[in-house]
């Protein structure tokens, strides 16, 4: 079932599942869900696939306003390896698109790596377009664990 994560849904099991899922995406340090939802008014929308009390897929969308408009930014789209091929990623993205429409966003952006062929195919099926821009990052804190 696809639902949006709330503070009330966060259990120790869900928290651990989120850590495990995120580790499939990146070796970066991650914030605990309890910290992400510390102030729910500032929390991103996190579409989740939960089955039998386990978090098996998730996708986050932060919402913000700038001079160029009211936008959403999708990140951290991941599905458990055991659940891939079941169109869960598609359902998560569609849930975030519908949320964006309900919030009257002007556009939704997302970031993916060129090697994520399956993800790119999904995004293109959902009518996301390659903007042909580069994304730069400047880390202001230590974001990768020291080896």
Query: How far is it, in rounded angstroms, from Cα 126 to Cα 110?
Result: 12
Give me the chain's average pLDDT, please: 92
Taking 90 as the threshold, does the pLDDT of residue 45 lie above it? yes
User: Per CATH, the architecture of 2-125 is what?
Assistant: 3-Layer(aba) Sandwich (3.40)
Split at pLDDT 50, 70, 90, the class of 147 is low
pTM here? 0.91
Mean pLDDT across 74-102 = 96
H, E, C per residue of the chain: CEEECCHHHCCHHHHHHHHHHHHHHCCCCCCCHHHHCCCCCCCCEEEEEEECCEEEEEEEEEEEEECCEEEEEEEEEEECHHHCCCCHHHHHHHHHHHHHHHCCCCEEEECCCCCCHHHHHHHHHCCCCCCCCCCCCCCCCCCCCCC
Q: Is 59 exposed, middle or buried (0-12, 13-18, 19+ CB in 10 A)?
A: buried
């Amino acid at each position: 079932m696809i639902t949006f994560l709330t503070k009330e849904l966060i259990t120790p099991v869900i928290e651990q599942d989120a850590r495990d899922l995120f580790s499939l995406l990146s070796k970066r340090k991650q914030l605990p869900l309890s910290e992400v939802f510390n102030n729910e008014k500032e929390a991103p929308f996190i579409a989740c696939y939960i089955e039998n009390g386990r978090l098996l897929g998730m996708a986050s969308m932060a919402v913000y306003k700038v001079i160029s408009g009211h936008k959403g930014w999708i990140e951290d789209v991941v599905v458990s390896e055991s659940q891939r091929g079941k169109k869960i990623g598609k359902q998560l993205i569609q849930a975030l698109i519908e949320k964006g429409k309900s919030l009257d966003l002007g556009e939704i952006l997302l970031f993916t790596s060129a090697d994520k062929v399956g993800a790119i195919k999904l995004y293109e099926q959902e009518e996301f377009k390659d903007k042909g821009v580069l994304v730069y990052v400047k880390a202001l804190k230590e974001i990768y664990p020291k080896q």
